[in-house]
Amino acid sequence: MIDIALVAALLYQIYKLLKGSVAIKIFLGFLSIYLIYLLVRAVRMELLSSILGQFMGVGVIAAIIIFAPEIRKFLLLVGRSSFLSNDNIWKDILFFWRKKENSAFNISPIIDASKTLAGSNTGALMVISSSSELKFYAESGDILDAELSKRLLISIFNKYSPLHDGAVIIHNGRIKAARCILPVTEREVPAQFGLRHRAGIGMSEATDALILVISEETGQVSMMKNGKVLHNLSFQEVREILNDYLNNEDLDDRFESLSEYDLSKKKKLAMTSKS
Ligand SMILES: Nc1ncnc2c1ncn2[C@@H]1O[C@H](COP(=O)(O)OP(=O)(O)OP(=O)(O)O)[C@@H](O)[C@H]1O
């Protein structure tokens, strides 16, 4: 019984750590195959269980290679005394069946700060996550865990601030971290998108977060979700998208895929050159 409880707690912690990243899909894939393997073995289906057994053997080595960075970070977290002494972990384990709290929070500081940042052509990169703290990415920067405020966001992205380089991660009304390094997309992106936008698109491909980018060059606001983009948004649109995202509404249809984005740009260009 204690054995089962410990395994359940461990699996839950791994799930929490990976939540929001692509690694979780691979992890759940492995877990499902392992459960099928146990089931097949229990009902003594010899051939299938030997095939799945072979796969599991190779799978463990493959998992170690695929999850190398995650395993390193996980061990680092385990090693930190704060990880085990953190009350939240025990609360999470004890009350894991509780319904997820509504992720909505007051987004006005994000909108107000974006207005000021865009108005002064200050570049910014914000990751807003409704489902998780995105610990992996937060750990790549400086942990703040500060209450979300317009003044704080403006200070972070001020060109002279030591925190301005990289992204902030916002979750549950708190700025979890600043100066975070995000994965850059490997897909081809429109020529006017530089590194900041590429990182925004990359992060939206790797996680279920919503990304907000303010261009230093033009002051224009873009958002990214699931590898798709929306460019040159008004602040009213930003507010609506943010609200809908935090209320778990499906935003996929509203965003443009990178190929659509190129096409719509070309159409606009053709129309303006005709007129
Ligand atoms: N992988 C990354 N993760 C987080 N932030 C990044 C990453 N790559 C670049 N950045 C941020 O983007 C800034 C560089 O942006 P760059 O000027 O290349 O982007 P851009 O998309 O052309 O945007 P802009 O329109 O603002 O010039 C860096 O100073 C850094 O703050």
Provide ipTM, 2 decimals: 0.91
Name the residue of 195, 204, 211 whose CB sits within 8 Å of the most ligand 1 atoms, as the mutation to test its pocket: 195
The Cα 167–Cα 163 span in angstroms is 9
CA of 86 to the centre of ligand 1 (A): 34
Q: Which of 201, 250, 251, 207 has the alpha carbon at shortest distance from 227?
A: 201
CA of 250 to the centre of ligand 1 (A): 28
Q: Ligand 1 atom closest to Cα of 192?
A: 22
CA of 238 to the centre of ligand 1 (A): 20
**Ligand 1 site, CB within 6 A:** 123, 125, 165-167, 181-182, 184, 193-197, 199, 215-217
> In the predicted model, what is the mean pLDDT of the chain?
83
108, pLDDT greater than 90: yes
Q: Which of 3, 4, 6 has the alpha carbon at shortest distance from 93?
A: 6
pLDDT digits (tens, 9 = 90+) for 6-31: 888 877 877 766 666 667 777 788 78
The Cα 112–Cα 116 span in angstroms is 7
Residue nearest to atom 20 of ligand 1 (CA): 194
Residue nearest to atom 5 of ligand 1 (CA): 166
pTM over 0.80: no
pLDDT value at position 275?
45
- Place 102 in a pLDDT band, splitting at 50, 70 and 90: low
Q: Ligand 1 atom closest to Cα of 198?
A: 21
CA of 166 to the centre of ligand 1 (A): 7
pLDDT digits (tens, 9 = 90+) for 43-95: 888 888 888 888 877 877 887 887 776 676 666 556 544 445 454 555 555 55
Higher pLDDT, 87 or 2: 2
End-to-end CA distance of the chain: 75
CA of 126 to the centre of ligand 1 (A): 12
CA of 179 to the centre of ligand 1 (A): 11
pLDDT digits (tens, 9 = 90+) for 174-216: 999 999 999 998 888 888 788 999 999 999 988 889 999 999 9
**Extended beta strands in the chain, E state:** 124-129, 142-147, 167-171, 174-180, 210-214, 221-225, 228-230
